[in-house]
Each structure stands twice: as structure tokens, then as C-alpha cells.
Amino acid sequence: MDSGIPKYSGVEQNPEAYLSGLVERSNATTDLPNGYLPSTTYYCVSDFEIVGAIRVRKGSNANVENVIGHIGYETRPSARGKGVASYLLAWVRDHALADSAIVTCSIDNPASQKVIENCGGEYLGNYTDESEGTVRRYRLART
């Protein structure tokens, strides 16, 4: 079954390795290779199907602060426009953040911009990265 999200292609061929990687990243206490930070992933499930995922990165570096943010999320294409991303981001804001976090989205993604702003994201400005293009940066504080 195809999720429609490239990040998850191939997971069904080796779900054990995928889950093992999630646990390893969540349990990590130091930065990981390639500038990755430890992170915990949460899923939104409806009718036994994953409809969205959200990661909360622990710690910070320039790439997190300026480009990818402390929080990253995806919604299954068939579930978009149904409040999944808003639910996940609000849940993380209220239950998983100890302080504030940076959240970013592409300037070409008005749906994500709306999600972040509706969850209380404070616009900090844009940042242009060679590989990611221009992103809008927000600060999201625990409520």
C-alpha cells in the first residue's frame, strides 16, 4: 500500500528496520551522523491506517534552527484537508514540548503555513537554504 509520501517508500519491505531506526533516534543521547538530532515520532491513526506523522527533534543546530525546524510532519495525501496536521501539531505543542520550538514550512506550502499559524506559531521570517529552498520560520510555544 503506497502512502503517497516519498519519505516512507520501502517501509513495508523492511518495517523492523524502520521501527528499529525510530527507536534508536528516540533513545539517542547525542547527535546522530549527518547532522541529524535525536527525535521522537508520533503517529495519527484512523481506521487502522496511519494518516499522519510528526517528529520532535531534541536539541538544536543551525539546520534545525533555520531550515527543518524542531518539528516536522506529514499527512497522507488522502487525509489532507481533514485536520490531521493541525491535530498533530496542537497535540505536540500541548504534550511533547518542554519549551518553544522552531517549525518551518516551504513558502510554497500555504496549507502548512495555515496549520502552523492556527496552532499559535509566531512568524520569525524566511530563510533560504541551497537544498531546501526558502522556508518560513515560526516559533511555537507550549500553551
The fold adopted by the segment(s) 6-141 is Aminopeptidase (3.40.630)
Total-model pTM:
0.88
pLDDT-based confidence at 1, cuts 50/70/90? very low
Question: What gap in Å lies between CA 37 and CA 49, rounded to an integer?
Answer: 27
- Residue 91, H or E segment: helix 84-95
> SS3 for 143?
coil
C-alpha angle 103/134/51, rounded to 5°?
45
The string of pLDDT tens digits covering residues 36-63 is: 899 999 999 999 988 999 999 999 999 9
DSSP state letter for 68 = I
- The full set of domain ranges for the chain reads 6-141
> Given this model, what pLDDT does residue 75 score?
94
Residue 12 phi/psi, 5° resolution? -65, -25
